[in-house]
C-alpha cells in the first residue's frame, strides 16, 4: 500500500519519473516538482521514495478550487490510489464553495463515485507551452 503525503520533503526530480503518459511534449520531472510547489494544495502517493500518483489543486483560498492534474503511474493503476488521492484533496478543500475539474466522459463515473456531478465546461490550450519549459 502506498503512503500519502502533502509535503515535498525528500522528493527529488528522479522520484517523479514516468508521469504525463501520452503527452506529446510532457513537463520534465524538474518542471513537475516546480508545478507541485506552485500548487495551492497537492497530495502524493508514495511507494518508498518513488511518487506513484499525484493530484494538484489551485485555489483562491476563499470560494473556489480547480483540480488540474491527477495521475497514477500505469504500474500502480487499478489499486484504488486515484480514488484515494481525490478523496484526500477534496477533504483538504472541504471549506470551499466550489471545486471543479475537466475530464473526458469515460472518467465521469469515477468522479461521480467520489461525490462530484457532471457539468459542461470550456477550455483553452496553447500546445506550444505544454512542457512548461
Ligand X SMILES: CC(C)(COP(=O)(O)OP(=O)(O)OC[C@H]1O[C@@H](n2cnc3c(N)ncnc32)[C@H](O)[C@@H]1OP(=O)(O)O)[C@@H](O)C(=O)NCCC(=O)NCCS
Q: Which is nearer to ligand X, 30 or 77 (CB)?
A: 77
**Residue from the set 31, 83, 130, 131 that interacts with ligand X by CB under 6 A:** 83
Closest CA to 16 of 5, 25, 27, 24: 27
Q: Print burial letters for 2-20: b (CB count within 10 Å at least 16), e (below 16).
A: beebeeeeebeeebbeebb
> By CB under 6 A, is residue 27 in contact with ligand X?
no
Q: Which of residues 93-132 bind ligand X (CB under 6 A)?
A: 103, 106-107, 110
**If binding is defined by CB under 6 A, does position 82 make contact with ligand X?**
yes
Max CA pair span of the chain: 39
What is d(CA 56, CA 71) in angstroms, rounded to the nearest whole number? 10
- 4-12, 70-78, 87-95, 119-127 -> range binding ligand X (CB under 6 A): 70-78
- Closer of 46 and 103 to ligand X (Cβ): 103
For binding to ligand X (CB under 6 A), which residues are involved?
A: 70-72, 77-83, 103, 106-107, 110
Amino acid at each position: 500500500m502506498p503512503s500519502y503525503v502533502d509535503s515535498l520533503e525528500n522528493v527529488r526530480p528522479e522520484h517523479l519519473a514516468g508521469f504525463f503518459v501520452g503527452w506529446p511534449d510532457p513537463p520534465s520531472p524538474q518542471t513537475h516538482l516546480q508545478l507541485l510547489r506552485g500548487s495551492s494544495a497537492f497530495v502524493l502517493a508514495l511507494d518508498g521514495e518513488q511518487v506513484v500518483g499525484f493530484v494538484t489543486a489551485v485555489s483562491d483560498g476563499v470560494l473556489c478550487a480547480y483540480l488540474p492534474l491527477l495521475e497514477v503511474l500505469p504500474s500502480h493503476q487499478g489499486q484504488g490510489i486515484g480514488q484515494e488521492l481525490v478523496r484526500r484533496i477534496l477533504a483538504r478543500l472541504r471549506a470551499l464553495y466550489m471545486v471543479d475539474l475537466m475530464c473526458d466522459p469515460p472518467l465521469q463515473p469515477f468522479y461521480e463515485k467520489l461525490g462530484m456531478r457532471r457539468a459542461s465546461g470550456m477550455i483553452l490550450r496553447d500546445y506550444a507551452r505544454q512542457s512548461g519549459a
